[in-house]
Structure 1
Amino acid sequence: MAERPMETTVRTALWQQFGAAIDMLENALVACPDTLWQEHLWIDSEGSDYGTFGDIIYHTLYWLDLYLTGRPEEEFTPPAPFNRKSDDVIPKQPYTRDELHTYLKYLRKKCQSTITSLSDEKVHQPFYFPWDSKNPIGYFELQLYTMRHVQEHAAQLSLFLGQHAIPDEALDWVERAKDEVGL
């Protein structure tokens, strides 16, 4: 068996785990009944409009999209209908499950192609969080950070659904991305 270059191995592993985190978020989105879509997981200090199931899905997708670009938030515009400048602004009408599911599928493909095309230059590109403009992290670390963020919210949403008697099978652990990408 021929050895694969390390960068291919790293990209493949990164995609398989990142894709699995996105797949677990998708499982929660699909498993959520309409009766729980606007229920609060918590009351956020920003206000009672935050912290609903649908809002947490949107928040997770917004930051996934932003961090995949590796650009500052002020240079980022997500696709319509999500194209407001910050997820700090609550829409007058909450996003629908279908809108967010479409966005998730789009971002899954974007994540897969982003990881597939990672270059040495991109991996080392610095990224500055708005709250810490003096200590950049590299783009590769940003993607690990983002994967953890997706998984954190997927776990919170899954726990919430489990507490509301949604069957475990709908929320099963995803070992690797549902499909492999040819890296």
Structure 2
Amino acid sequence: MIQTIKEGLWKQFGGSIDMVTNAVSAYPESLWNTEKKFFYMSYHVAIFLDYYLTIPAGPLSSPLPFTLSETIPADGIDDIVPDRIYSQKEILDYLQASRKKCHDHILGMTEADFAQQWVEVEGNKVMTVFELFLYNMRHVQHHAAQLNMMLRKDTGDAPRWVRAAR
């Protein structure tokens, strides 16, 4: 039964990551540096996808550096401010690295691994690793929908729904 759960969880989580990747890939490069809300959201989802795949929990960090701010920047969505506008390729590479990390984590988990507690180092989140995967997947899918909505607004089109990871 555990193998069925792992495979199903991966297919759906991977599909969510694929939807974000498709949205970032579809965004016109000509708008990337001017319509910063799309960039900020892409960066945010990439950072937190990776963060919530850090098992056991560790400090918030990223290969694409950021600064923590007391205030939300005008175009930002939280207190994480990227040190610069990273390219689409940098965001896509980060998403792909996290996709592999997610895949390897899920398929390598045992029932005991899923049941262990994940305790956020600097925050107040405490949940099982299994719930953490669901929480992370919901977060990724939430932002995939927002990115697709922005794509439709800015270009008139957006990538299609992904049923399961490819």
TM-score (norm 1): 0.76
| Cα shift at 1:73 | 4.3
1:81-160 correspondence to structure 2 within 5 Å: 82-84=64-66, 88-129=79-120, 130-132=122-124, 136-160=126-150
1:3-152 correspondence to structure 2 within 5 Å: 6-38=1-33, 39-40=35-36, 52-74=37-59, 76-78=60-62, 80=63, 82-84=64-66, 88-129=79-120, 130-132=122-124, 136-152=126-142
Q: Distance in 2 between matches of 1:61 and 1:17?
A: 17
| Structure 1 unaligned residues grouped into runs of 5+ | 1-5, 41-51, 179-183
Tell me the equivalent position of 1:44: none
**RMSD (Å) for aligned C-alpha atoms:** 2.1
Letter in 1 for 2:52: Y
Which structure has the bigger radius of gyration? 1
Pair 35,111 (structure 1): closer, same or farther in 2 beyond 3 Å: same
Give the percent of matched residue pairs that are identical in Structure 1 and Structure 2: 37
| Cα shift at 1:167 | 2.7
Aligned residue pair count = 155
| Structure 2 unaligned residues grouped into runs of 5+ | 69-77
| Cα shift at 1:164 | 2.1
Letter in 1 for 2:161: W
| Cα shift at 1:92 | 3.8
SS at match of 2:118: strand
SS at match of 1:137: strand
Q: Distance in 1 between matches of 2:79 and 2:154?
A: 28
TM-score (norm 2): 0.83
Q: Distance in 2 between matches of 1:85 and 1:124?
A: 33
Q: Distance in 2 between matches of 1:85 and 1:67?
A: 19
| Cα shift at 1:83 | 4.6
Q: Distance in 1 between matches of 2:80 and 2:134?
A: 26
Contact map agreement 1:77 1:85 (CA 8 A) in 2: no
